[in-house]
Structure 1
Amino acid sequence: MTVAGRRTIVIAGGDGVGPEVTAEGRRILARIIDKRALPFELVDVEYGASAYNRHGKVLTEAAFAAMRDADAILFGATGGPEFDAIPAAARKAGNLLAVRRELDLFANLRPIKPVPELHETSSLKARVIDGVDLVIVRELVGGIYFGQPRGIEVLANGERLGTNTHQYTSTQIRKVTRAAFDLARTRNSRVCSVAKENVMEAGRLWREEVQAVRDSEYPDIELNHMLADNCAMQLVRAPKQFDVILTDNLFGDILSDCAAMVTGSLGMLPSASLGPLREDGRRAALYEPVHGSAPDIAGQSIANPLGSIYSVAMLLRFSLGRRHDADLLEQAIANALAAGARTRDIAMGGESLSTTDMGAAVLSELERLLD
């Protein structure tokens, strides 16, 4: 969407701690846009329970139109008791799964790169996590979260039966495989494909299609295959063995939370959900922290905003083409942590900052680097 010659980035805080952490990502992004005189306007939209309470819809047509036309979306979180109280049909009509499907955000990137200053906050030994630098590429619009049939039914004998269908087409698998291989070419050209081909037909198809794409289109990529349960174990045993992990929707969801312990806190993790490149060279893209809505701490200003701020760095890198500024922002985060800035989840019982004070600490370090 263009407004007076300017392009747009949509900000949607959503539910729970989403608005709190997104506010910190937003003000840092706004500062970079202002400092660099970039032609982008930040457009705030309502999403989730607050939108439903005001408009009767989780996501209004106007808000979705803004998302659809934006150069990027910075998203907070969805879910929680207030969201769950919304009628099921209204939740389904505007939930995040629907947004992902409508915008074809098929490739979810979740980087795992622990900060040395926080090694002690991890449940793993420093020697295990030191030097880890991997990315999980998760297929995001297929698999068990979207498969049909699904639902809960009552059987003739009175028992209840819950059904979810795990299914993939070769086109879906090949599409995300190319995204993972393209990313690997910018890194160390190594991909580990993860599935459960030993017990799942969809997993066997996954392995066969990934291998076929590698053999025919990416002979320079080093590819190996790993069962999902083994991958979960390897992520906490020897995470340095991985460069790019390629996996499906369900396993990507689980494995990225497992990998979060490499960094010490789920609150540290960003993500990027990317659509296909369009003819104009742009793509739909949504950036969000991995941690979810955390309703138990919402409104207390104790949530860690670094997942959102790191997501801004990914937005700068992948949607705005500002790789140098993304590097500066990540350095600013490292500098703030080196100076002792901590939120409660990474303070290990020591002094901690509020959500806004942590954002201010990063912004202060960024100001020095931007000059």
Structure 2
Amino acid sequence: MATQKLLLLPGDGIGPEVMAEVSRLIDWMNQNGLGNFETETDLVGGSCYDAHQQAITDATMDKAKAADAVILAAVGGPKWDKVPFEARPEAGLLRLRKDLGLFANLRPAICYPALAEASSLKREVVDGLDIMIVRELTGGVYFGEPKTITDLGNGQKRAIDTQVYDTYEIERIGRVAFEMARKRRNKVTSMEKRNVMKTGILWNEVVTRVHAAEFKDVTLEHQLADSGGMQLVRWPKQFDVIVTDNLFGDVLSDIAAMLTGSLGMLPSASLGETDPKTKKRKAMYEPVHGSAPDIAGKGLANPIAMIASFAMALRYSFDMGKEADMIEQAIAAVLDKGLRTADIKSEGTRVVNTQQMGEAIVAEVAALAG
């Protein structure tokens, strides 16, 4: 079995606690012949700023580029609100995405039947929900230039963020969405704001053209992003794959996350281009939730999104779909048995801490592995 190199970046807040449960699972897989993973751990975000006065070092970036996959927990927190903008914890995350060329962010929103009551929406609206949001990750307003704040005098300032997209950026994210839909329920909904934004007009044109030229077998529909947000809350099961830009993808995926009952439940994958020689692609896997500094160190964090992110790494980076399925089935089995962390507790369930949830999932994987 080939050795797979993983770079683990626990980050800040609850990050080290949830990453510890991924490490527990990796150790079990290595010991029981289900994997051959070599791991290295390093700093990113606020913890890196405390040590090096920057959000990520060049040395850590080199490790990320050399790894077969990067597993990231979470960065940030109010402790670092006053640090220079270019050194803020999120700058480390943005550099990882940009320098690794991770243009495609896959964010599944799955509502396990056992958790339907934890959603703020009615059970019939979310029970069995399974949608995938494909978010463009390295373009748009988060990276566009100019990006400035100018002092105009007389107590006035002007802030500028620039929304920029080129044709090739829209083409490649569109292809990822269509290819994903072919493996699911064969439907893509493209969301933008073509009614008020030039980038929305181009987005709509390019997605339509790529569909007509390469993916006629897939159903394509277009929605304005604000209407799409409303429809996600009204009847989310109408969607299969949603493809959208960086800004709208950020907003819409967080809306979708809460449909499932908790941000602590949802993983994500960020993928780069496939290398034509090695057939490998740079990739980073992380939970959708943040660093939750208010509960850090208390054993309250939900490790499921972190563990499910590792399962996505098995699926998309290592072609270990069987093992990924096993982990996802183990998560469902633990939930069916009524185990809950505090964020997803409900009447009649048993609340466990972070470590106990991780141990329970590993035990279920062991049972499934026989």
Provide the TM-score with structure 2 as the length reference: 0.95
**Structure-2 residue corresponding to 1:360:** 359
| Alignment partners' CA distance in 1, 2:193 and 2:249 | 12
Q: Does 1:66 align with 2:63?
A: yes
- Identical residues among aligned pairs (%): 48
**Cα distance in structure 1, aligned partners of 2:34 and 2:256:** 37
Q: Which amino acid aligns with 2:336?
A: A
Are 1:151 and 2:148 matched, yes or no? yes
Q: Is the 8 A contact 1:314 1:326 kept in 2?
A: yes
Q: Structure 2 CA distance, aligned partners of 1:59 and 1:149?
A: 23
One-letter amino acid of the structure 2 residue matched with residue 68 of structure 1: K
Quick one: distance in 2 between partners of 1:268 and 1:346?
A: 9
Contact 2:49 2:89 in 1 (8 A): no
Q: Which runs of 5+ in 2 are unaligned?
A: none
Distance 1:53 1:347, change over 3 A: same
1:210 aligns to what SS in structure 2? helix
Corresponding residue number in structure 2 for 1:340: 338
Matched, 1:330 2:325: no
Q: For 1:4-47, what per-residue CA distance to the aligned partner results, in whole angstroms no more than 9, with x for missing partners?
A: x7330110000111111111122213322332353330111122
- Among 248, 252, 256, the residue aligned to 2:245: 248
- Aligned counterpart, 1:281: 279
Hey, what's the Cα distance between the residues in 1 that align with 2:339 and 2:238?
A: 30
Structure 1, gaps ≥5 residues long = none
| 1:292 alignment partner, one of 290, 293, 312 | 290
8 Å CA contact 2:45, 2:93 repeated in 1: no
* Rounded Cα–Cα distance in structure 2 between residues aligned with 1:93 and 1:327: 31
Q: 1:163-191: CA deviations, max 9, x gaps? A: 11111111111111111111111112110
**1: CA distance, partners of 2:8 / 2:68:** 11
Compute the TM-score of the two structures, normalised by the length of structure 1.
0.95
Choose which of 248, 257, 273 in structure 1 pairs with 2:254: 257
- Structure 1 range deviating more: 233-242 or 149-158: 149-158
Aligned equivalent of 2:83, options 62, 81, 86? 86
Q: Which residue of 2 aligns with 1:307?
A: 305
Note if contact 1:30-1:42 (Cα within 8 Å) is conserved in structure 2. no
Partner of 1:369: 368
Q: Secondary structure at the match of 1:162?
A: strand
**Paired AA for residue 360 in structure 1:** E
Moved more, 103-112 or 297-306: 297-306
Matched, 1:55 2:45: no
Q: CA deviation at 1:144?
A: 0.8
Determine the C-alpha separation between the residues in 2 that align with 1:7 and 1:315: 11
Decide whether aligned partners of structure 1 residues 30 and 84 sit closer, same or farther in structure 2, where only a CA change above 3 A counts: farther
CA distance in 2, matches of 1:336, 1:37: 20
Residues 191-216 of structure 1 deviation map (CA, whole Å, 9 limit, x = unaligned):
00000101111011100000010111
**Cα deviation 1:30-79 (Å, max 9, x = unaligned):** 32233235333011112222223223332222211111111111100011
Secondary structure of the 1:43 match is: strand
Please report the RMSD computed on the Cα atoms of aligned residues, expressed in angstroms: 1.6
Of residues 57-66 and 111-120 in structure 1, the stretch that sits farther from structure 2 once superposed is: 57-66
